[in-house]
Amino acid sequence: MHEMSLAEGIRSIVQDQAAKHGFSRVTVLRLEIGRFAGVEKPALDFAFDVVMRGSPAEGARLEMIDLAGQALCFDCMKTVEIADRLAPCPLCGGGKLIPNGGDEMRIKDMEVA
């Protein structure tokens, strides 16, 4: 389950930021997760609760924000949102798309005390 290692990375970031900015508790942590990131959200939610024990984010609410998948269509030369990597261009119906967004995961922000 790679979601456990993702949660461990989040914990490391939280601890680094707590030391740098002097907060002791995170109440809400918001993650932006791209459609193609390959993250199982229920597994990440579970891992987050387990891994954050004993950290400033213990008991914090995890909010996951979905980011759309994006691709560049070489037929119409537009960047478009796509539902899956093999979808045709929603503008021109072309099939020459190169995904260029939607595989990221990042902390958007945290509410701290």
Q: What is the pLDDT of residues 22-52, one digit of tens each?
A: 999 999 999 999 999 999 999 999 999 999 9
Inside any domain, residue 44: yes
Whichever domain contains 63, its CATH number is: 3.30.2320.50
3-state secondary structure of 86: coil
Whether the pLDDT of residue 19 is over 90: the answer is yes
Model-level pTM? Answer: 0.87
Please tell me the distance from the alpha carbon of residue 105 to that of residue 96, in angstroms, as a whole number: 25
Inside any domain, residue 42: yes
Inside any domain, residue 26: yes
Report residue 1's pLDDT band, with 50, 70 and 90 as the boundaries. low
Domain that holds residue 48: 2-69+102-112
Q: Which of 4, 9, 2 minimizes the C-alpha distance to 106?
A: 9
